[in-house]
Chain A
Amino acid sequence: MGNSSSRITAQDRAILNMKLQRDKLHIYQKKIQTILTREHEIAKECLARDDKPRALLALRRRKYQEQLLVKTDAQLEALEKLTSTIEFSLVEKAVLYGLQQGNQVLKEIHKEMSLEAVEKLIEETDEARAYQREVSNLLAGVMTNEEEDAVEDELEALEREVLGARAVPAMPDAPSMVPISTETSEGAGKG
């Protein structure tokens, strides 16, 4: 108690006060319960002594105490309900706080994901892609000596093929020209 760094809130004190009242009612009920038993015993003792009026009186007092007990029961219930409600409200408050915090975080995330930022990002991506294309084009223009040699070799081979084909009479060319004019071969080709 008396801590300067107290973690006890005003609600805690309110709850404590209600619970203390509840305890008092509990103790009061215990007291009434003993009176009830005692009055019952007294009534019995009086009857044994043939003292009917006294026995009746004891039973009447007992009845009255019983009513008190019922009343305190109702009060106890009311107190406990109120305490539970407050405790539940505190839980709700905590949940609300949690939701608020979550919302805040969500807002911050959205702020970072603004349309502008997204557009800019896409723009940047487009630029990056254009850049990539440029690089590819540049790279395509630059070839190593080996590759250049290989390409030249390939050209030579191709030339030999083409020139060689012209030196020798082109045998396969002749028949390929003939069937164009004949309709039968065309139909057979289609069939």
Chain B
Amino acid sequence: MTTTATMFTKPKPPNLEYPELYEFPAFFTRYHSSSSPQNTQPNDTTWAHQRSIWAAWVLSYCRAHKIWKLQLSDALETELFYNRNLNRRFKQRDAAELLEYMVTEGDVEWEGVGKATAIVYWRKPEEWANVIYEWIDSTGQKGSVLTLYEISEGDLTRNQEFHTIDPYVLRKALDFLVKRSLAQVFGANEEMGVKFF
């Protein structure tokens, strides 16, 4: 699993593409319509537009680095919110507002009440359910019993997109399969297993 401590020293993964605006200093400043009253026309620089680009950037960044949980205070130090070349960074308040917006879109879920850590769904749980079931089906594991640990950490899933999947996200994904009678989760507490059908 990705530890947040080593996150900002990580090299750029090959599948990560920066948004064009990433090279623009203004991108790192939240647009306030009140701060520029002379500009009453909504245009491309409105917060809604800026926000949607930010949201997409957060998702692709987390996908590329396989980040399941984003710890906000750490993330602010990474290139996600901090462009060191430009010496520009996104303020904590703005980042929190951005994540709050992403919560309403279903892309993010706060972990706990402190709103310090966000679970990032760069794939929705239902998508994960399909990806995992696809893998189960194609590897002939229908009718087999697997541990949840095995799905996220096992050697067999090492080349799968869901390898290292967060246990919470995995449970949510499996719940979809359970609902569709394609899986049954059993066991106790931390020692869970799942049987696929």
Binding site for B on A (CB under 8 A): 1, 3, 6-8, 12-13, 15-16, 19-20, 22-23, 26, 87
B144 near A7 (CB under 8 angstroms)?
Answer: no
Give chain B's interface secondary structure class.
strand
The CA-CA distance from A3 to B187 in the complex, in Å, is 12
9 pairs across A/B with beta carbons < 8 Å? A3-B184, A8-B184, A8-B186, A8-B195, A12-B193, A20-B149, A20-B193, A22-B147, A23-B153
With A20-B193, A26-B153 as contacts: A1 and B187 at CB distance below 8 Å: yes
B184 near A16 (CB under 8 angstroms)?
Answer: no
B149 near A23 (CB under 8 angstroms)?
Answer: yes
A16 near B153 (CB under 8 angstroms)?
Answer: no
A19 near B147 (CB under 8 angstroms)?
Answer: yes
CB nearest to A15 among chain B residues? B145
Q: Which residues of A contact B191 (CB under 8 A)?
A: 16, 20
The one of A7, A23, A87 in contact with B150, judged by C-beta atoms closer than 8 angstroms, is A23
Binding site for A on B (CB under 8 A): 144-147, 149-150, 153, 184-187, 191, 193, 195, 197
Give chain A's interface secondary structure class.
helix
A19 near B193 (CB under 8 angstroms)?
Answer: yes
B186 near A6 (CB under 8 angstroms)?
Answer: yes
**Can you name 7 extra interface pairs (CB under 8 A) apart from A1-B187, A8-B184, A20-B191?**
A1-B185, A7-B197, A8-B186, A13-B186, A16-B147, A22-B147, A23-B147
Q: Which residues of A contact B185 (CB under 8 A)?
A: 1
The one of B146, B153, B184, B193 in contact with A7, judged by C-beta atoms closer than 8 angstroms, is B184
Q: Which residues of B contact A26 (CB under 8 A)?
A: 149, 153
B150 near A19 (CB under 8 angstroms)?
Answer: yes
The CA-CA distance from A15 to B75 in the complex, in Å, is 40
With A1-B185, A1-B186, A1-B187 as contacts: A16 and B197 at CB distance below 8 Å: no
The CA-CA distance from A19 to B186 in the complex, in Å, is 13
Q: Which residues of A contact B184 (CB under 8 A)?
A: 3, 6-8
A92 to chain B, nearest CB (A): 14
B144 near A16 (CB under 8 angstroms)?
Answer: no
